[in-house]
Amino acid sequence: MYEGAIQDLIDELGRLPGVGPKSAQRIAFHILSADPADVTRLATVLNRVKDQVRFCTTCYNVAESEQCRICRDPRRSDEFLCVVEEPKDVVAIERTGEFRGRYHVLGGAINPLEGIGPDNLKVRELMSRLGSGEVKELILATDPNTEGEATATYIALLVKPMGIDVTRLASGLPVGGDLEYADEITLGRAFEGRRAV
């Protein structure tokens, strides 16, 4: 619809996840009128991210060197290992400030419909990390959906015979939520997991 470069930019932006044709157009016109220095910075960081960001060789979180910040931190406990699906889950858990152990990022969850099995995830790498015997508790923090539950169950079955405590994050009512609007599965889990006060 537009001439040359601006249309190319709209097309490229439209390929990004969650960016529809209208937002792509809006962003493109924003860029057209933005400070050239801002645009150069965005273009530079786009190239840099592919060159510089690697995955930590220990936990497979995003990292800029051989190991990520968390794996390099000597103050963190090696006895607790938290298994998550994606690097963004590490950030979410770090934000709580509740966990001082290490992480292991699987890179997804088991999803037979999309052809993702344990071999496509960092499960073998997890097992060899556990082989060192330092880990006392393995916390399964995969998403509380079908794929995440299946992945947690699969890993639990593998790890339990090794004599390591395996735990799963609690399911229940979200804090600040409304009991009336909780779905029946969440409310059922909240009942199941009720605790003495």
Task: Provide the binding-site residues for a second copy, judged by CB under 8 A.
Answer: 1-6, 8-9, 12-13, 15-19, 23, 25-32, 36, 38-53, 62-64, 68-69, 86-88, 91, 94-95
Closest approach, Cβ 112 to a second copy, in A, equals 21
Closest approach, Cβ 197 to a second copy, in A, equals 34
d(CA 158, CA 178): 37
Q: Which is nearer to a second copy, 72 or 160 (by Cβ)? A: 72
Nearest to 156 by CA among 98, 110, 102: 110
Q: In terms of residues, how long is the chain?
A: 197
Distant-in-sequence, close-in-space partners of 138: CB < 8 Å, separation ≥ 6 = 81, 83, 130, 155, 159, 164, 165, 166, 167
Closest approach, Cβ 88 to a second copy, in A, equals 6
Q: Which is nearer to a second copy, 10 or 138 (by Cβ)? A: 10
Q: Residue 15 burial (CB < 10 Å; 0-12/13-18/19+)?
A: exposed
Nearest to 60 by CA among 81, 76, 37, 80: 81
Closest approach, Cβ 17 to a second copy, in A, equals 5
Q: Which is nearer to a second copy, 100 or 160 (by Cβ)? A: 100
Q: Which is nearer to a second copy, 23 or 186 (by Cβ)? A: 23
